[in-house]
């Protein structure tokens, strides 16, 4: 982690410059960034698992900081207002001792309300709605649109510090994927595979960037399957695992699919892996991201033809949305402090947005790629009964080879996903590099 700390000061300088522009847009004098508060469950004294605000983690890599803040005043050293209550029921958060903390002036708070004494006039607040009575704090504005637009647009381009964190997260995720694959081939249940994954990361469930998707056999057709069956099936045919890790708040997002025996599904999986790597290679500065999505549909359509799953021309498969039966989601998204990082449809710092194409409403990113952007590339071919039934009842019925589809239904589906950086030298695939280094 020493290397990360060396990169942190330059990262912080970039954030300060962006924050200065956000304050101009919001006509404010200071920026207060909240880490978020603990939330009590309805009719109970238990709290939900705490997740630090991505805006706060951007400045201070502390994942356990409820009630804390970062205060930015242009031209001044940033201030970390760290909430450390006196509490004997729970262990209060510990102030980090890492070298990155030297960049901040640190103030200990015994309650979040003590932060009010440190606020200049015309302070702009960025944070969730868990702050008690925010109007009484006298903020210039809470989450003003012009400031958020500036912050969100800039966040898509990662600093060298952020890229290093994402690289570490990919390494951790790849190691855990290897452990999960070994458990699957040993016949473990979905739940047991999940436990092996957690053990390999050293993270708790609450510390994962998202809930693990560990889907065996037909469950691979459920895009966000999180059931984690405790009982292993009598016969394992396939595993689709979509799971990540996080380092200093930065996420990896990796998906792999496995088959237990040779046959049509294994052959389709092997070709899908080659297709996915071709799409990853297209992640370069100047590329309009929806073009990669459109290319994915064309390549998936050709794959479906080559494997005898559809019986129409490629152009017909695209024009009549046959490919959408098998690939119903977007090709990927921005990745960083959030798994689905914000600002994917934003076109400038003023907040102009460009929605996804009408035919592909689930595409999360409509920007032209720039150096330092990190995206996922995750093509899929699924055998989803609901979508297949719909196609069987409309104009697409004659375009699909139903007997071949019937044979593949028990396998669920295929998704392969890597995290890729757009660089001036081309695509840098963090996920493949992590797996290669472990091998």
For residue 133, pLDDT over 80 is answered with no
The per-residue pLDDT for range 347-361, each reduced to its tens digit, is 999 999 999 999 899
Pick the CATH number of 160-438 from 3.50.80.10, 3.90.230.10, 1.20.120.80, 2.20.28.270: 3.90.230.10
The pLDDT of residue 333 = 98
Does the domain formed by 2-155 have CATH 3.40.50.970? no
CATH 3.90.230.10-classified regions of the chain:
160-438
Nearest to 376 by CA among 437, 427, 438: 427
CATH 3.40.350.10-classified regions of the chain:
2-155
How large a percentage of the chain has pLDDT more than 90? 93
Distance between CA atoms of 325 and 317, rounded to whole angstroms? 10
The pLDDT of residue 135 = 75
For residue 130, pLDDT over 90 is answered with no
The per-residue pLDDT for range 262-296, each reduced to its tens digit, is 999 999 999 999 999 999 999 999 999 999 999 99
The pLDDT of residue 210 = 97
The pLDDT of residue 1 = 65
The pLDDT of residue 30 = 98
Distance between CA atoms of 402 and 206, rounded to whole angstroms? 42
For residue 439, pLDDT over 90 is answered with no
The stretch 313-317 carries a mean pLDDT of 97
Distance between CA atoms of 317 and 304, rounded to whole angstroms? 9
For residue 134, pLDDT over 80 is answered with no
Distance between CA atoms of 64 and 50, rounded to whole angstroms? 8
Distance between CA atoms of 277 and 120, rounded to whole angstroms? 51
The stretch 396-409 carries a mean pLDDT of 97
The stretch 55-79 carries a mean pLDDT of 97
The pTM of the whole model exceeds 0.85: yes
The per-residue pLDDT for range 166-212, each reduced to its tens digit, is 999 999 999 999 999 999 999 999 999 999 999 999 999 999 999 99
The stretch 362-368 carries a mean pLDDT of 97
> Degrees (nearest 5) of the Cα angle 195, 201, 202?
85
The per-residue pLDDT for range 149-167, each reduced to its tens digit, is 999 999 999 999 999 999 9
The stretch 88-117 carries a mean pLDDT of 93
The pLDDT of residue 88 = 87
Phi, psi of 240 (to 5 degrees): -115, 115
The per-residue pLDDT for range 14-56, each reduced to its tens digit, is 999 999 999 999 999 999 999 999 999 999 999 999 999 999 9
């Amino acid at each position: 982690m020493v290397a990360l700390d060396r990169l942190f000061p330059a990262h912080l300088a970039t954030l300060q410059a962006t924050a200065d522009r956000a304050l101009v847009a919001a006509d404010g004098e200071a920026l207060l960034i909240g880490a978020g508060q603990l939330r009590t469950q309805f009719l109970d004294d238990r709290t939900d698992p705490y997740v630090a605000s991505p805006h706060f983690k951007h400045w201070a890599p502390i994942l356990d900081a409820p009630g804390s803040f970062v205060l930015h005043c242009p031209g001044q050293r940033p201030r970390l207002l760290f909430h450390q209550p006196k509490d004997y029921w729970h262990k209060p958060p510990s102030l980090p001792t890492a070298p990155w903390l030297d960049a901040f002036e640190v103030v200990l708070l015994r309650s979040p309300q003590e932060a009010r004494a440190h606020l200049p006039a015309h302070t702009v607040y960025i944070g969730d709605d868990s702050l008690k009575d925010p109007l009484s704090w006298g903020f210039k504005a809470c989450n003003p649109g012009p400031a958020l637009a500036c912050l969100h647009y800039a966040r898509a381009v990662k600093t060298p510090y952020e890229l290093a964190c994402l690289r570490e997260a990919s390494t951790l995720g790849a190691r855990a994927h290897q452990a999960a694959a070994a458990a699957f081939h040993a016949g473990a249940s979905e739940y047991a595979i999940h436990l092996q994954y957690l053990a390999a990361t050293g993270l708790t469930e609450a510390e994962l960037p998202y809930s693990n998707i560990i889907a065996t056999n037909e469950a691979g057709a459920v895009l966000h399957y999180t059931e984690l069956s405790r009982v292993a099936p009598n016969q394992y045919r396939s595993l689709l695992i979509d799971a990540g890790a996080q380092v200093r708040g930065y996420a990896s997002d990796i998906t792999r699919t496995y088959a237990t025996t040779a046959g049509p599904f294994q052959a389709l999986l092997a070709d899908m892996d080659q297709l996915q790597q071709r799409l990853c290679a297209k992640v370069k500065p100047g590329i309009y991201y929806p073009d990669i999505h459109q290319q994915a549909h064309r390549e998936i359509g050709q794959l479906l033809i080559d494997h005898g799953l559809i019986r129409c021309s490629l152009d017909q498969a695209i024009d009549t949305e046959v490919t959408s039966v098998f690939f119903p989601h977007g090709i990927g998204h921005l990745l960083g402090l959030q798994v689905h990082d914000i600002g994917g449809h934003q076109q400038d710092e003023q907040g102009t947005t460009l929605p996804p194409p009408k035919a592909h409403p689930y595409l999360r990113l409509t920007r032209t790629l720039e150096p330092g952007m990190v995206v996922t590339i995750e093509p899929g071919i699924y055998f989803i009964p609901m979508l297949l039934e719909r196609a069987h009842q409309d104009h697409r019925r004659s375009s699909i080879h139903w007997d071949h589809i019937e044979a593949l239904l028990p396998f669920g589906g295929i998704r392969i996903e890597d995290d890729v950086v757009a660089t001036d030298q081309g695509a840098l695939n963090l996920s493949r590099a992590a797996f290669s280094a472990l091998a």
